[in-house]
Structure 1
C-alpha cells in the first residue's frame, strides 16, 4: 500500500479520484443507493423514527465524510444497527428528545477519540491490528452478516416462505450472470441490474406491494425533529449512560470497514487521511442525525461489497449516491418505490456482497503468507471466527459489545499476549 498522490490502483476500473461520465455516474450512484436503502430505512422503522429523515441524514453525513476526508475514502454512511436496543429503550421511557441527546453524545465520543488520536498519533494500529487479526476480522464482518442475508431471503414476517427464497435465488443468479457475462458499462452495475431483475421477478410472483407508492405524494417534506426548534432540551443522564458507550463498539466496526476498504483500494486509510479524520467525519455525521431527527450513522458493509465486486472506487459515485438520497427523501413516490423492494431481493444481493467482503479477509491471510502450522496463528484466527460468526456478545446493562466488536477485542488481546511460539514448537 502507498499513500503517494500519484498512486493509482491498477486493478480499479475507476479509482478513487476518477470522475465518471454523466450517464454512467447516475447508474453507478443509483446502484449504491439501492444497495444501502433497505438497511438505512429499516433502523428508523424499528425504533419509531421517520425513514425519510434517515435517508436525508445519511446523504448529508456521507457528503460531509467525503468533504472532511478530502475525497480520499470511498465510503457510504447509513443508519447504525448497534444503537437499536438503546434507542428503543429510551424512546419508551424518555421520548425522542432523550434519544436525540444520546445520538449526539455518541458523536461527541467519536470527536473526542479523534482529537486524542490527532495528538498521540496512530502508529499503534500496526501493532494491535496485524494481518493475523485483520484478516479474520474482515472475514467476520462479511460472514457475521450472513445470517441477516439468509433471513431476508427466506422469511416472510418470521415464517419460512419458499416464494421468498425463490426470489432471492433468482436475484442472486441474475446478479452473478450480469457480473460474469456483461461487457462495457453494464458490467459495472451488476448489483443495480440484479436488484431491478429481482424486483421484476418479485412483481411477477406477487410479493410487491405497490399501494404505498400510489398513495405517496410526489413532494413530501420529511418530519424533521430539529433540536432547539421543535422541542425543548433537558439534560438526560440515561441518554448519556446508555448510548455514549456504544460509540466505542461502532468505532471498532468503523476500523474494521477501513481495513476492508484499504485492502480493496490498495491504500492505507489509517495513515492517510488517518483515523483522526475518518472518526471526526463519522462523529459529525452522527451528530447531524441527532440534530434533525435521524438515527446515528456508520459506514456500510453492503456498499463496500459493491466496491469490491465492480472495482469502481470513485468517491464521485458515492457522493452521487448521497445526493440522490437527499433528493429522494423529499420525493415521496420515489422513496416509496425503493422502499417497496422486497427483502428477498436484498437478501439475494447480500449473499454475494457479504461473501465478497469475507473473501477479502481470506485474501489478506493468503497475501501475507500466514502460517497456520503455528499454533499462535491458529488460535487467534479460530477465536475471532467462532466468536464473531457465532454471534457471541457481551452485555452489561444497556451496553452491548456486539459479536464483531467482541471478536476484534479478543483477537487484539490474544495477539498482544500470546508468545510467538508455543512451548511445544520451541
Structure 2
C-alpha cells in the first residue's frame, strides 16, 4: 500500500489531487451532493432541527475536514444518525441549546482523542473499542429508533391511520426498488428517490400543505443558532453527558471509513496525514456544527460508494459538493419543502435506514468473527442491547445518562474489567 504523499494512482480516473474540467467538476460535485442529501436532511427532520443548517454544516464541515487533513483525504461530512436518539430526547427537554452543548462536546472529545493519539499512538483505541463493544452499540443505535419510525409511519394525531401506513409502505417499497433495480447514479441515491416518491404520493393523497411551500420566499438566511447570540449560554452537564459518550462509537465508524478509503485509493491515511488529523477534522466539523445550530456530523459511506463506482477520488470534487450544499442551504423554498415532508414518508424511509444501522452492527461482529458462544462476549452483547434498546437510564441528581449513552459506557467498562474466559470455560 502506497504511503508516499507524491504517489499517483493511475487506476483512478481522477486521483486525489487531480482537478476535473469545470463542467465535469460541477456534474461530479452535484452527484456527491445528491448522494448525501437524503441522509443529511432526514436527521434534522427527525430531531426537529433546520435542514438548511444541516446542509450548511455538512458543507463547511467537509471543507474544514479536507483542510485539516491537508487535502489528502476525499471524505464528505454529513449528519450523523448515531446521535438521533439522545438529540430527540434533549429536544423535548432542553431544546436546541442542550443539543448544541452535546454536539460541541462531541467535537471536543474527538479533539481530545486526536491529541492523545498524536502524543502516544493509537493502539489503545482498539483495546477500548473492540468489535464486541462497537457491534452491539451500533445495533442499539438502530433498534432504539424503531418505535419512533413505527409511530411516524402509522399515527396521525395519536390515532392509527391506514392511509399514513400505506404511504409509509409505498415509500419503503420505492427505496428498496431503486436500491435493487438500478445502478449508476439512480442506484446511488435510492433513499432520496424513495423520499421523493413518497412525497409525491402524499401530495396526491392531500396531506401536504402546498400553500406553505408556494408562499415561501425563494432565498433566506438559514436560522443559525449561535450560543450567546441566539440563546443564553449556560453549561448543561446533563445534556453534554447524554450525547458525548456516543462519540467513541462514531470514532470506530470513522476509522472503518478510513480503512475503506485506504483500499480504494491505495494509500495509508492512518500514517499520512495520520489518524490524529482525520479525527481532528471530524471533531472540528462537529464543533462548528454545534456553534451554528446543526447536528453532529460524520464521514459518509454514501460518498465513498460514489467514489468506488466512478473511480473519481478528487478532493476538489468533494470540495465542490460542499460548496453546493452550503449554497443550497440559502434556498429557503427547498428548506420549507423539506420541513413539510409528511410523517409517513419519514417513517417509511426510517424502517430501512434504522434497520440498516442495526444490521451494520451485526456485520461488525460477523466481519471480526466475534464468538457469542464465549460467555464474555455474550454477557457484553446481551447487557448492552437490552439497556440500550430498553432505554434504561441512570439519574444522578440533575444528570441523566440515557439508554444509548449508558449502554455505551457499560459496554466499555465490561470489556475492560471482564476476564477473557469464564471459570467454566477454562
TM tier relative to shorter chain: 0.7 to 0.9
Q: Give me the TM-score of the superposition, normalised by structure 2.
A: 0.77
Q: 1:297 maps to what in 2?
A: 296
Unpaired runs of 5+ in structure 1? none
Tell me how far 1:217 sits from its aligned partner.
0.8
Q: How far, CA to CA, are the matches of 1:14 and 1:134 in structure 2?
A: 34
For the pair 1:34 / 2:30, whether they are aligned, the reply is no
Give the alignment of 1:10-409 within 5 angstroms: 22-23=26-27, 25-41=29-45, 43=47, 45=49, 52-69=52-69, 70=71, 71-77=73-79, 81=84, 82=86, 107-108=107-108, 110-224=110-224, 238-239=234-235, 241-246=237-242, 248-258=244-254, 261=257, 276-289=276-289, 291-292=291-292, 294-295=293-294, 297-299=296-298, 304=301, 322-409=322-409
For 1:19-65, what per-residue CA distance to the aligned partner results, in whole angstroms no more than 9, with x for missing partners? 995546424422421322132255465xxxx6644543343223323
Q: How far, CA to CA, are the matches of 2:347 and 2:155 in structure 1?
A: 10
Distance 1:359-1:107 versus aligned 2 partners, 3 A rule: closer
Tell me how far 1:144 sits from its aligned partner.
2.8
For the residue of structure 1 that corresponds to 2:281, the secondary structure is helix
Between 325-334 and 13-22, the greater mean CA deviation after superposition: 13-22
Q: How far, CA to CA, are the matches of 1:157 and 1:320 in structure 2?
A: 42
Tell me how far 1:124 sits from its aligned partner.
0.5
Q: How far, CA to CA, are the matches of 1:274 and 1:250 in structure 2?
A: 22
For 1:281-302, what per-residue CA distance to the aligned partner results, in whole angstroms no more than 9, with x for missing partners? 344334434554x2452338xx
Q: How far, CA to CA, are the matches of 2:142 and 2:309 in structure 1?
A: 19
Distance 1:330-1:257 versus aligned 2 partners, 3 A rule: same
Distance 1:372-1:329 versus aligned 2 partners, 3 A rule: closer
Q: Give me the TM-score of the superposition, normalised by structure 1.
A: 0.77
Between 317-326 and 17-26, the greater mean CA deviation after superposition: 17-26
How many aligned residue pairs are there?
A: 408
For 1:61-95, what per-residue CA distance to the aligned partner results, in whole angstroms no more than 9, with x for missing partners? 23323432443544414696545666776679xxx
Query: Residue 143 of structure 1 contacts residue 358 of structure 1 at CA under 8 Å; is this kept in 2?
Result: yes
Query: Residue 101 of structure 2 contacts residue 235 of structure 2 at CA under 8 Å; is this kept in 1?
Result: yes
Tell me how far 1:174 sits from its aligned partner.
1.1
Tell me how far 1:173 sits from its aligned partner.
0.8
Q: How far, CA to CA, are the matches of 2:164 and 2:318 in structure 1?
A: 30
For 1:123-164, what per-residue CA distance to the aligned partner results, in whole angstroms no more than 9, with x for missing partners? 111112222222222222332333332233223344332222
Give me the CA root mean square deviation: 4.2
Q: How far, CA to CA, are the matches of 1:192 and 1:13 in structure 2?
A: 26
Between 195-204 and 12-21, the greater mean CA deviation after superposition: 12-21
